[in-house]
Amino acid sequence: MNQPKSSLLDLVHEHSSAEKFAALKWEGSFQDYLALAEENPAVARNAWQRLLDMVTSYGFEAPADRSKPRRWTIFDDPFDRGRDAVYGLDEPLNQLVQIFRAGAQGLGPEKRVILLHGPVGSAKSTIVRLLKQGLESYSKTEAGALYTFSWEIDGESIPSPMHQDPLMLIPEEARSAVDDRLNANLGREYRIEIRGELDPVSRFWFNELMERHAGDVDKVYEHVRVRRFVLSEKDRVGIGTFQPKDEKNQDSTELTGDVNYRRIAEYGSDSDPRAFNFDGEFNVSNRGLLEFVEVLKLDVAFLYDLLGASQEHAIKPKKFAQTHIDEVIIGHTNEPEYRKLQNNELMEAFRDRTIKIDIPYNLSFEDEVRIYRRQFDRQSFKTKAIAPHTMDIAAFWSVLTRLDDPMHPNLTITQKAKLYSGEEVQGFSSEHVREMRDNSEREGMYGISPRYVQDRIAAVLVSDKDCVGPLDLLQALGNGLRHHSLISNEEVRKKYEQLLSHAREEYEEIVKHEVQVAVAADGEAVDRLCSKYIDNVKAYTTREKVIDPQGQERDPDERLMRSIETKIDIPESRKDDFRHEMMNYIAALHIEGKTFDYRQNKRLTRALELKLFEDRRDTIQLTSLVSTVIDPETRAKIAVIRDRLIDQFHYDERSAEQVLQYVAALFARGEAKESKTEAA
């Protein structure tokens, strides 16, 4: 029986909960809160500890290679289905989380400003945005619950303007004993400590009530009403963002609050805390996180406020004493501003109180392409065909622009990009990759921004073409360089254009390989060829004979073995070593009870496919595609190849046809060159 279809209102109700709403609106007395804190001491965490717990609550993905860092799940953007996921930055992000851990344990980073440093478009602001979203969501959970208080005086409710923890109401002399009791039940890697003083408004009312009740603190606490609250950037509660303006419009009161002149007449003084708006970014960010956008563009006077806020955990509102704050401060900056900071001797104090984390561009094109696919999901362009490798080749080029030229004479920049993406290059190991990265500190801090590539992809997608391919995008990337606002150096522009030709060559190799595989797409034939090769290698290394299908003994087929080995660049001088290594490897697998599978060796698989392609290409006559007349038999064979491209490499019919035409032209051009060489 068919179930009735739910209405839109039903869907809304599925994601609404009166019980959850009631939990977020919890209220109680000061005594109720003390009981709650004793049962669950985590409610008294400071901002650093809460931020660490928030990040770890989302978990992490352990790498297969233990030498590589964890991938923290929060940076996969669980809030918006991966729309702002950060890729290729696992190492600096892991470093960031370790700073949170050290700060939570009170080891020093909690007295510093975290400075994310990198080129434009390297995801600095995205990282902070995910942390802010994480804190908001975490504060709505039971694990992330936090509380503040209000004063109930003569029928009026007066909230703590900076949402301070109710435990701040505990007198200094009692705090040590309370700390010990809380930490006895905590069971965390850090220790909870009640630190700081009440904000000026709460301090005013505490003293006022102590006077009214002749020092009876229990009667003072009867005026305290504790409530749960939720961090929210939109509501300016516990999460703030400060963006510098031009010097004429910058005012330090934006950070620390300002006098409410309408209330001065009511209270008689501009130094009365009730006549002050504690609504600066430092104030509203208390208990959470404050982001400084382009922090090094701030006026020097603002930076001094920042130093006090980080080092002393205190700010100086106008007309008031130092006021305690509890928040994580994260700024981010681009390269030009950071160079100015390094060259400014007057800013030595600021440099000493910052922890810089480099946030570079991706140096792995596999990670880079995930950024583009995230934004340009094929589901969003159902009417526009996007050929395979379109995004990949754009990512490959963008990574090339970020790399230093290889120092090794036998390594090309294309091969270097492949090594950085985890691909194998003969003669180079993972140790070589680590050495190259260690000796290239500036890599990833310059080059083409992902934003530029995304803009050019968007331009191509709205063009009149029914099917967009890698060559279309490469052309668009090249055309846009002439108008790129961040490329003023003609030499740099020419270098980027030259790297476009490297990307084109890489694309040609990819599609030639795919067509070759499609031509030779006979799994049984490749298996037979591999078996034949291994039989000949075994006979060669053991100095035995090969038994052919007719049962006759023959010498190992040297021509067959070399026709395969040359395709994986095994020189004549190394053929014996290679063959012995191959047989030793197969023998080791046999001892372990395993079977040799050539498919696990990409180079050998490629060599076998190329050999089979060469054996069959004359029967297919692929180059006839560029001619105007094709006989029905050849067309049928080519149709089979096209269908294999669709099945194996996910082309659609239009893009498969285009690739076949393109590769046919490449082969035809290659054959023409060979003919000219022979004639000469």
Please state the separation of Cα 120 from the chain's center in Å: 15
Q: How far is residue 96's CA from residue 114's CA, in Å, rounded to a whole number?
A: 9
Q: Give the number of C-alpha atoms closer than 13 A to the C-alpha of residue 575, restricted to the C-beta side.
A: 17
Region of poorest pLDDT, from 99-108, 136-145, 339-348: 339-348
φ, ψ for residue 409, nearest 5 deg: -65, -25
Q: How far is residue 283's CA from residue 309's CA, in Å, rounded to a whole number?
A: 11
Average pLDDT over residues 517-543: 84
pLDDT of 598: 84
Per-residue pLDDT band for 623 (boundaries 50, 70, 90) equals low
Q: How far is residue 130's CA from residue 60's CA, in Å, rounded to a whole number?
A: 15
pLDDT of 597: 87
**CA-to-CA separations, 111 to 193, 425, 613, in angstroms, rounded:** 15, 45, 65
φ, ψ for residue 388, nearest 5 deg: -55, 150
Per-residue pLDDT band for 680 (boundaries 50, 70, 90) equals very low
Contact between residue 440 and residue 419 where contact means Cβ atoms under 8 Å apart: no
Please state the separation of Cα 16 from the chain's center in Å: 31
Q: How far is residue 204's CA from residue 492's CA, in Å, rounded to a whole number?
A: 62
C-alpha gyration radius of the chain: 34
pLDDT of 275: 92
Query: What sign does the dihedral 313-315-320-323 (CA atoms) show?
Result: negative
Higher pLDDT: 602 or 111? It is: 111
User: If you search the block for the tokens 């020093």, which residue do you land on?
Assistant: 108
Contact between residue 275 and residue 263 where contact means Cβ atoms under 8 Å apart: yes
Higher pLDDT: 35 or 380? It is: 35
Per-position b or e across 320-339, b if 16+ CB within 10 A of its CB? beebbbbbbbbbbbbeeebe
In SS3 terms, 586-637 reads as HHHHHHCCCCCCHHHCHHHHHHHHHHHHHHHHHHHCHHHHHCCCCCHHHHHH
The torsion region of residue 470 among left (phi > 0), alpha (psi -120 to 50) and beta comes to: alpha
Tokens of 466: 């029914």
Contacts of 215 (CB under 8 A, 6+ apart): none
Tokens of 73: 């799940």
- Counting residues of the chain whose pLDDT is more than 90, the rounded percentage is 56
Q: What secondary structure does DSSP assign to 434-492, as a single string? A: HHHHHT-TTTTSSS--HHHHHHHHHHHHTSS-SEE-HHHHHHHHHHHHTT-TT---HHH
Contact between residue 347 and residue 303 where contact means Cβ atoms under 8 Å apart: yes
DSSP conformation class of 3:
P
Q: How far is residue 91's CA from residue 95's CA, in Å, rounded to a whole number?
A: 6
Q: How far is residue 429's CA from residue 512's CA, in Å, rounded to a whole number?
A: 27
pLDDT of 315: 94
pLDDT of 430: 84
pLDDT of 523: 67
Identify the burial level of 42 via C-beta atoms within 10 angstroms of its C-beta, where 0-12 means exposed, 13-18 middle and 19 or more buried. buried
User: If you search the block for the tokens 């979203």, which residue do you land on?
Assistant: 133
On the question of pLDDT at 113 being above 60, the answer is yes
pLDDT of 617: 64
pLDDT of 43: 96
Side chain identity, residue 380: S
Contact between residue 645 and residue 663 where contact means Cβ atoms under 8 Å apart: no
- pTM given for the model: 0.85
Average pLDDT over residues 362-368: 94
Mean pLDDT of the chain: 88
Contact between residue 395 and residue 365 where contact means Cβ atoms under 8 Å apart: yes
Per-residue pLDDT band for 660 (boundaries 50, 70, 90) equals confident
Contact between residue 365 and residue 84 where contact means Cβ atoms under 8 Å apart: no
pLDDT tens, residue by residue, 446-472: 999 999 999 999 999 888 888 889 999
pLDDT of 247: 63
pLDDT of 521: 67
pLDDT of 679: 46
Q: What secondary structure does DSSP assign to 253-305, as a single string? A: HHHH-EE-HHHHHHHS-TTSGGGEE--SHHHHTTTSEEEETTGGGS-HHHHHH
Side chain identity, residue 602: K
**CA-to-CA separations, 248 to 236, 305, 318, 331, in angstroms, rounded:** 25, 18, 19, 22
User: If you search the block for the tokens 């959470």, which residue do you land on?
Assistant: 288
DSSP conformation class of 497:
H
Per-residue pLDDT band for 379 (boundaries 50, 70, 90) equals low
pLDDT of 246: 66
Helix residue spans in 15-69 (DSSP H): 18-24, 30-39, 47-57
On the question of pLDDT at 437 being above 60, the answer is yes
Number of other residues whose CB lies within 10 A of the CB of residue 465: 12
Per-residue pLDDT band for 675 (boundaries 50, 70, 90) equals very low
pLDDT of 266: 87
pLDDT of 522: 65
Q: Which helix (H) or strand (E) holds 111?
A: none
pLDDT tens, residue by residue, 32-68: 999 999 999 999 999 999 999 999 999 999 988 777 8
pLDDT of 381: 58
Average pLDDT over residues 637-648: 84
